Amino acid sequence: MLRTPIDFQPALDLELHPDAVVHLFVRDSLVQSLDEPRALPWRTWRAMGFQPARVHPIGRHQGVDHIAVALPDDHPADLMPDGWKAANLRTWFGSLDDETLSIAMRAVQILEWDRTHQFCGACGIPTEQASGERAKRCPRCRLTVYPRISPAMMALVTKGNQLLLGRGVNFPPGRYSALAGFLEAGETIEECVAREVREETNIEIKNPRYFASQSWPFPNSLMIAFTAEYASGEVRHDPAELADAQWFDLDALPQMPPRLSIARALIDATIARMRANGA
């Protein structure tokens, strides 16, 4: 499961200096060397000769300052030096080390928030960077906006030695995962777990238990994962949300989500617990 290193310190006030490293984006695409994907040394970024549209300090990790830099939105993604490529963050899963990837996942959310909050949502004039906090403020009506984070729940429902798994309509062929959905205004996360499982599969749950959470910058989710137990109902999936949903025996599981996802961590931990209990 991907998360920023435990000794990573968020920071707003880093100096831009030659020992810093840069997470360089064109919109939501991360720019990386194809030969050696890694956080970009500041000198390498300067030598590329591009003009930044936005620069945000992200934080410090093991004495190194990490800076998010965005090229102008109209910079063609294929206009890169030889041996470099701009591609969606998911493209770099597996080739970029997990620590750099997890800090880049912070960087892209801050850059995207900056890009989409250049003007006040209430009165339309340009916003200003607030001092001392990661916020933008309207100089006229004082509206303050923080980086937007959208909570979503994930639920893995168990029944005996079976797991309830669904296939999203956009999943790769054969892939199943835990159920997931976004929190509604006014709802608790536990209410969201019960509602989403009911809406997507017609199943009632009991005993929701918190497992873990993961920031997921596509574009700004906080995925909050739960296990839950089956209470009642027959599986009937909502075709608008899912291509399929089924109970799977532990001995006959389908293709699972990728390693870095919280879904995979949730499923693996639940299987291990069920096996330990004799399933």
Q: Does 123 bind Zn ion (CB under 5 A)?
A: yes
Q: Does 118 bind Zn ion (CB under 5 A)?
A: no
Residues near 195 by beta carbon (within 8 Å), at least 6 away in sequence: 181, 184, 187
Interface residue with Zn ion, options 120, 180, 194, 203 (CB under 5 A): 120
Contact (CB, 8 A) for 55 and 61? no
Please, which of residues 180-219 interact with Zn ion by CB under 5 A? none
CA atoms of 262 and 5, how far apart (whole Å)? 16
Q: Does 119 bind Zn ion (CB under 5 A)?
A: no
Q: Does 122 bind Zn ion (CB under 5 A)?
A: yes
Interface residue with Zn ion, options 11, 16, 55, 141 (CB under 5 A): 141
Please, which residues bridge with residue 22 across strands? Answer: 40, 67
Which stretch of DSSP H or E encloses residue 112? helix 98-116
Reference 89, options 100, 75, 73, 74; nearest CA is 100
Q: Which is nearer to Zn ion, 122 or 149 (CB)?
A: 122
Contact (CB, 8 A) for 204 and 128? no
CB of 140 to Zn ion, least distance (A): 5
Q: Does 40 bind Zn ion (CB under 5 A)?
A: no
Q: Which is nearer to Zn ion, 148 or 236 (CB)?
A: 148
Task: Please give the size of the binding site for Zn ion, defined by CB under 5 A.
Answer: 7
Q: Which is nearer to Zn ion, 122 or 253 (CB)?
A: 122
Please provide the size of the chain in residues.
Answer: 279
3-state class percentages of the chain: helix first, strand second, coil last, to nearest 5: 20, 35, 40
Q: Which is nearer to Zn ion, 47 or 141 (CB)?
A: 141
CB of 118 to Zn ion, least distance (A): 12
List interacting residues with Zn ion (CB under 5 A).
120, 122-123, 138, 140-141, 143
